[in-house]
Structure 1
Amino acid sequence: MRKESYSLPSAQPLTEAYIHREDERVAALYGYHAGAEEDWERRLKHLDQSGSKRADAHELARVLRAYNEAAHAAPEVFASISAIANGAPVVIGGQQAGLWTGPLLVIHKAVSIIGAAKSATEQLGQEVVPVFWIAGEDHDWDEANHAYVVTAEQELRKLSVARPEGGRTSVSRTAINEEKWSQLLEELEQALPSSEFKPVMLDELRQMSQRAKSLSDLFAMILSHLFGKYGLVLLDADDADMRRLEAPMFKEIIERNDELEKAYLSSAGQVKELGYALQADVAPGSANLFIFNEANGQERTLLHKKEGVFQDRKGQLSLTLAELLTIAEEQPEQLSNNVLTRPLMQDYLFPVLATVLGHGEIAYWALTAGAFRTLGMEMPIIVPRMSYSLIEGTVAKHMDKYELSFDDVMSRFEERKGQWLKEQDGLSIEEQFTDARQTFEELYKPLLALATGVQPSLAKLGDTNLQKIVEQINYMSSKTVDAFNKQFEASTRQLDRIHLSVKPLGKPQERVLNMTAYWNRYSLGWLDKLLDAPYSRTGGHEIVYL
């Protein structure tokens, strides 16, 4: 299989400093390093010594079994859950649920989790279980509700579902009815080109949709279908049974909230002192917890502290410490973590050997270092997720035809496209019009001087007249070039198809395109190629040719 690596630019200097060890001061923010083999041994030893501080492994396994049964998991998943019950460490990572799994980066996260768990298993000589944390508690509907697909007409189309009426509750608590699922599948069927695998794929998605009550449900079923044979265990952060397991940690986060606040602020100050920008809000007075407000349609509401009480930003909801602790004990499903407390909860539930994170996530995890220490915990090993670009056979053929490298498409596509079209211009159209314009200006200027000598006031009129004639020459040049380029419309379409496939909307493929386009064309063979691609514990970008 043809494979290439590529250095994808990152917008996160702190993450780059961590991955490449470019700034030795950054090591204190994270502790372990994914590229150091001895750190994996050291972290495993720590997990063996700290089991009493975590949730009961058998109770956790019970909850995981129930959830994965509902997602129609494969036998390999239940074997993984049994290993967790017996104390096996995990590699974990997660993402918000998205329509048909959302952008490809979600698939890449799952592939990276599986790759990291496999790599750790080989090194440590004991089973390490891959776990995918579905952030179903998140309430950003506009981020979760859509998928981009390339149509048969080679156009990018956004398919989406509007939020049902009601409060801005979590994605997992937002119900999608059967009519909406059918409408979405009809739109997907119309958008995707015909293929031998299309009917089977649509039938499988239809069966899953009939069982799904929310985007999170469908998301879990699809991930289970795609990755079940690799033993990938799923959980939904908004699962009520999981919440009950989390109750003791919620109570500790609430009781020690002021200490945690100081820890987050201290870590934020440390990050800024090192010269890096903060990638998450660290605000004084924030409890770093959400509550589902029953009085407002279960709206997920961020809690703040003021004068000894926990309240929403508007002060309409107000809870004493004792009242919030009672909720944590009796109704933990009404509480929800934010980005800064979620890492703590994850480490309480699981023996986390390592966590797989995207570049933005790695940057904001630096803010949690002090919080881990405050609760007598250690941040796990941070593993940058792998990223990939899938290059279809037709696209690869066209790239070869136009002598375009992957870097050409990512960095200078319009320049290379324009250059190719100019190279086809044997008539030198632009040059001939440029020569004609210059010749005209040289002939006209003596006439303009003559007119000005006869009557000085004619200078302005003459100059205006010159500009109008030059504009008309330029207009004719543009029209002639357009007419010439029309002869190459087929080539232009091929060039544009390359760009649409590799860098849609001017972004890396993984941030836009949905996986259904590849499932439709290759069944699940494309996924096997991703899992067979080179894997690195310190991340990287691989170009995978299909």
Structure 2
Amino acid sequence: MQMETFHWKKNQTLAEDYITDKGNAKSLFPYHFGNVEDWQGRVQWLDGANAAPHVDRKRLVGALEAYNRRVGNTEEALKHIAALGDEGTLAIVGGQQAGLFGGQLMILYKAITIIQLAREWRTKLQRAVVPIFWIAGEDHDFDEVNHVHVLSNTGQIEKLKVDHPSGIRTSVSRLPLSSEAWEEALHKLDQSLMDTEFKASLLEKMRSTVGDGATLSDAFARWMAMLFGEYGLVLIDADEPSVRALESSMFENLIEQNESYAASLMRSQAEVSQAGYGIQAEIHEDAANLFVFADGARLLLHREDEHFADKKNTVRYTKADLLDKAISTPDQLSNNVMSRPLMQEYLFPVLATVLGPGEIAYWALTKQAFEHFHMRMPIVVPRLEFTLIEGTVKKQMNKYELTLTDVLERFDERKQAWLDAQDTLQLNERFQAVKESFLSTYAPLVESLGGINPGVKKLGDTNLAKIVEQIDYLHHKASEASHTQFDAAIRQLDRVRLTIFPLAKPQERVYNGCAYLNRYGNVWLQHLLETPIPVDGTHRIYYL
């Protein structure tokens, strides 16, 4: 396995500063992942944090076991679940929305990070540390997770998607897809993949995840169990009814103390702003930071005097009404981006949480909220980042003398420079010389026509502009004709860019993992899982 590091600057300044331990970001978090003493301090906090609210571990084990059995997770994962019943067991937790066919590559990398960290600290601490993947099935943004992008054999980025089954704005975990919708999606996936020795097996496995009217969350969980179950990755769907039942007491706290809880978020927001950073998730003083399910729809609540209502006033509750829901029907409540970190801490003994750059930025807003509930934000660890470069793409980069920085920052310039270098007729210089020669003789003549008649001068100016336009037109057409000689080279150059920086984004945020599993099997994935890789916030180039 050939791998090298590369500094790919994060699009979040707060996250960049936190990872590199610079600026004011460190003050916004109680720990830093690069400090061994902070890891030891976190363990001590968890061992002695009796004041913090937490769930009954036996009930947690029961709910996780039932769910993981249902999605087909492995005995290794079930052993880790059983270990959570022991008060000394710790957890590494991270998560993502449930994407179609496993979503983008970065989701696989987040799971790899969780597994790597759990293994590392299990060895260092000589105690059980369990890897847990939190599936954000309660999220209702269907359009964000209903598609994947693939790079076709013709060099085009294609979007494969499934349509919303009902149009109701509700949790992804509550939207079963028809067998016809799944078959159509699988057919599109099949068409997008080249024929390889791995294709039939890959499609068969993927088909096995979508039976029985599966939701995107169901299929995602089954796929993650297939990919990572042997490494003991425990799965949890945030919208699973048995999990909701466990969250009842924490929902009560969030509702009962809603005003002071919101005030704690506002204080953190002020701290982030005073530290010089932009706000990743806007917080409002009257925000309840909770959703409610009403007539199937998931509605965000805010406070109005003594009541809680959604934006359109479709529903309206007293605090007593919401507390009753928390006790009797907690499955009608749901977390938002600000309460989810608190609920994660309530459910699990979180040694560290694995986050992407955007998540790091909004978790900074929760520090005061953790403290408000006598909790402490866990160690925030940036997920591993990779760009996969195939052998042919590497050869093409060498051929055209392209570095990764060239592809990211000046690709069009480097591409044009290469094309210009192939111009043995020196078209640019010769056309420019012709145009300058023409202007040097014709422009003075036109200027002199003003002495005859202003109208003739105006006609001359128009005539001059048309001739220059025709010279430029012929130059453009001649260049196009010349470039057709290099169509193969242009396709190679464009494929380099589309591989590394598709849609002007990192590869891991666009492409789905199936194309790489189809071309190379799962050996590369096993390498990333089994080779100890420092979780240090750097980007890595992995040559396939």
Shorter chain as denominator, the TM-score bin is over 0.9
Deviations 1:317-359 (A, max 9, x none): 1112222111111111111011111111100100000000111
Q: Residue 77 of structure 1 corresponds to which residue in structure 2?
A: 77
SS in 2 for 1:172: helix
Q: What is the Cα deviation at residue 514 of structure 1? A: 0.8
Q: What is the Cα deviation at residue 454 of structure 1? A: 4.0
- Aligned pair 1:182/2:183, yes or no? yes
Q: Residue 406 of structure 2 corresponds to which residue in structure 1?
A: 408
The 2-side partners of 1:421 and 1:317 are apart by 63
The 2-side partners of 1:412 and 1:533 are apart by 33
8 Å contact from structure 2 (residues 116, 532) kept in 1? no
Could you say if the C-alpha distance between residues 212 and 226 of structure 1 is closer, same or farther in structure 2, counting changes exceeding 3 Å?
farther
SS in 2 for 1:210: coil
8 Å contact from structure 1 (residues 150, 192) kept in 2? no
- Aligned pair 1:13/2:20, yes or no? no
1:289-328 aligned at under 5 Å gives the runs 289-294=290-295, 298-328=296-326
1:47-196 aligned at under 5 Å gives the runs 47-50=46-49, 53-87=53-87, 88-196=89-197
Q: Residue 29 of structure 2 corresponds to which residue in structure 1?
A: 30
Deviations 1:4-23 (A, max 9, x none): 11111222122222222212
* Aligned residue type for 1:19: I
Question: Which deviates more from structure 2 when the two are superposed, residues 265-274 or residues 237-246?
Answer: 265-274
Q: What is the Cα deviation at residue 515 of structure 1? A: 0.8
Q: Residue 395 of structure 2 corresponds to which residue in structure 1?
A: 397
The 2-side partners of 1:488 and 1:51 are apart by 70
8 Å contact from structure 1 (residues 77, 233) kept in 2? yes
Q: What is the Cα deviation at residue 166 of structure 1? A: 4.5
- Aligned pair 1:361/2:359, yes or no? yes
Deviations 1:120-163 (A, max 9, x none): 22322223111000000000011011011112222111011111
The 2-side partners of 1:78 and 1:544 are apart by 32
The 2-side partners of 1:5 and 1:212 are apart by 43
Which among 521, 524, 532 is matched to residue 522 of structure 2?
524
- Aligned pair 1:338/2:336, yes or no? yes
1:359-438 aligned at under 5 Å gives the runs 359-438=357-436
Could you say if the C-alpha distance between residues 308 and 200 of structure 1 is closer, same or farther in structure 2, counting changes exceeding 3 Å?
same
**Alignment RMSD, CA only?**
1.5
Gapped regions of structure 2 (runs ≥ 5):
none
* Aligned residue type for 2:337: V
8 Å contact from structure 1 (residues 12, 359) kept in 2? yes
Q: What is the Cα deviation at residue 446 of structure 1? A: 4.0
8 Å contact from structure 1 (residues 80, 231) kept in 2? yes
The 1-side partners of 2:431 and 2:406 are apart by 30
Gapped regions of structure 1 (runs ≥ 5):
none
8 Å contact from structure 2 (residues 9, 16) kept in 1? no
Q: What is the Cα deviation at residue 537 of structure 1? A: 3.3
SS in 1 for 2:172: coil
Q: Residue 46 of structure 1 corresponds to which residue in structure 2?
A: 45
Could you say if the C-alpha distance between residues 446 and 365 of structure 1 is closer, same or farther in structure 2, counting changes exceeding 3 Å?
closer
8 Å contact from structure 2 (residues 419, 483) kept in 1? yes
Q: What is the Cα deviation at residue 211 of structure 1? A: 4.2
Deviations 1:469-514 (A, max 9, x none): 1111111111111101100001111111111111111111111111
Q: Residue 244 of structure 1 corresponds to which residue in structure 2?
A: 245
* Aligned residue type for 2:273: K
The 2-side partners of 1:521 and 1:507 are apart by 22
8 Å contact from structure 1 (residues 530, 544) kept in 2? no
Could you say if the C-alpha distance between residues 213 and 469 of structure 1 is closer, same or farther in structure 2, counting changes exceeding 3 Å?
same
Q: Residue 265 of structure 1 corresponds to which residue in structure 2?
A: 266
The 1-side partners of 2:404 and 2:117 are apart by 26
Q: Residue 235 of structure 1 corresponds to which residue in structure 2?
A: 236
Count of residues paired in the alignment? 542
Q: Residue 499 of structure 1 corresponds to which residue in structure 2?
A: 497
Report % sequence identity: 46
Deviations 1:279-319 (A, max 9, x none): 1121111111101113xxx1001111112122212223111
8 Å contact from structure 1 (residues 98, 146) kept in 2? yes
* Aligned residue type for 1:445: A
8 Å contact from structure 1 (residues 136, 170) kept in 2? yes
Question: Which deviates more from structure 2 when the two are superposed, residues 204-213 or residues 83-92?
Answer: 204-213
Could you say if the C-alpha distance between residues 415 and 533 of structure 1 is closer, same or farther in structure 2, counting changes exceeding 3 Å?
farther
The 1-side partners of 2:364 and 2:125 are apart by 26
- TM-score by length of structure 2 reads 0.97
The 2-side partners of 1:324 and 1:356 are apart by 31
SS in 2 for 1:521: helix
Q: What is the Cα deviation at residue 375 of structure 1? A: 0.7
Q: Residue 215 of structure 1 corresponds to which residue in structure 2?
A: 216
